[in-house]
Amino acid sequence: QVQLVESGGGVVQPGRSLRLSCAASGFTFSSYAMHWVRQAPGKGLEWVALISYDGSKKYYADSVKGRFTISRDNSKNTLSLQMNSLRAEDTALYYCARAPPFGNAAFDIWGQGTMVTVSS
């Protein structure tokens, strides 16, 4: 079945780095745009980053631009988020989500999320 599984979360000190991964299965990964969305404890959803189906276009929320890098490996059906210079306010549950590659398509499949805690 169609599935997204995130991994790589954990506890990290401020200023350090962490790399999240999202393994896709059950669909043609290379045909879909992919997103990272995060949710701080007890808070709402915040879009983090978008990568086009072929990796040629990338967009970031202002809160992470210059610190986070989204990438994908279509040969391995994997999405990644490299997070550098982490801050306490980056503490959140990070979801990956897919979207059809046309216009402003909705996020139709979500993973269960991986938790990132930034704390000294």
Q: Maximum CA pair distance of the chain?
A: 42
73 or 108: CB nearest another protein: 108
Instruction: Report yes or no: 49 and 37 within 8 Å, Cβ to Cβ.
Output: no
Instruction: Confirm or reject binding of residue 104 to another protein (CB under 8 A).
Output: yes
Distance CA 108, CA 115 (A): 21
- CB nearer to another protein: give 38 or 72: 38
* Site string (27-66) toward another protein, x via CB under 8 A: --------x-x------xxxx--x--------x-xx----
95: helix, strand or coil: strand
How many C-beta atoms lie closer than 10 Å to residue 95's C-beta?
A: 21
**Tokens (6 digits) for 100:** 């059809």
Residue 37 or 118 with smaller CB distance to another protein: 37
Write the DSSP assignment of 79-103 as a string of letters.
Answer: EEEEE-S--GGG-EEEEEEEE-SST
Query: In whole angstroms, how close is the CB of 77 to another protein at the nearest point?
Result: 19
Pairing of strands 18-25, 109-110: unpaired
Shortest distance (Å) from residue 22 CB to another protein: 12
Q: Which of 20, 68, 95, 114 is the binder for another protein (CB under 8 A)?
A: 95
**Binding interface with another protein (CB under 8 A):** 35, 37, 44-47, 50, 59, 61-62, 95, 97, 103-108, 110-113
